DNA sequence: CTGATGACAGTCC
DNA sequence: AGGACTGCCATCA
């Protein structure tokens, strides 16, 4: 029977779980979430799940791009909402970019600390 | 089946 | 700092 469907649902579950595991006031990159979900390199899967997500309790706003910028289009409705939600959690958001997160791939140390606090 | 798309990421220049 | 290119893979036309 369809083992594929089960796998897909399982992947989604893990991704959702990883997102829910992001502490309030903290953020994570798509790749980071994917890795935490046991799906390294599947950042796009995370994006796919978020796009199809219906759970209002899901802290989707804590998921940003690897460069610390909001993933959605600037003219998109979700862009503004994500900005406001992040600010509501005490984060500084300037021009669609969260202050305190690496803006360039030259220093990856910051993100790890900002996100989960510490590796496994 | 092929090709394009996408709430992405990493590397190279 | 920013653009071009590649990798990944589910979904759609």
Residue A112, C-beta contacts closer than 8 angstroms, at least 6 positions apart: A118, A119
CA A101 to C1' C12 (Å) is 35
Strand partners, A64: A29
> What is the predicted pLDDT for the residue at A5?
74
Q: Which mean pLDDT values do the consecutive 10-residue runs of chain A (120 residues) have?
A: 73 94 92 92 94 93 93 91 94 88 53 50
Within a 10 A sphere around the Cβ of A96, how many other Cβ atoms? 18
> What is the predicted pLDDT for the residue at A103?
55
C1'-nearest nucleotide to the CA of A41: C8
Whether A20 sits with its Cβ under 7 A from any strand B atom: the answer reads: no
Domains in chain A, CATH or no CATH each: 3-114 (1.10.10.10)
């Amino acid at each position: 029977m369809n083992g594929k469907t089960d796998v897909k649902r399982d992947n989604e579950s893990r991704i959702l779980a990883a997102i829910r595991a992001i502490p309030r006031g903290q953020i994570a990159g798509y790749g980071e979430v994917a890795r935490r979900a046991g799906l390294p390199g599947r950042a796009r899967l995370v994006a796919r799940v978020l796009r199809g997500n219906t759970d209002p309790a899901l802290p989707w706003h804590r998921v940003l791009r690897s460069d610390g910028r909001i993933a959605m289009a600037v003219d998109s409705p979700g862009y503004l909402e994500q900005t406001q939600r992040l600010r509501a959690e005490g984060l500084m958001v300037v021009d669609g970019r969260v202050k305190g997160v690496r803006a360039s791939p030259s220093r990856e140390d910051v993100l790890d600390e900002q996100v989960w606090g510490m590796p496994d």
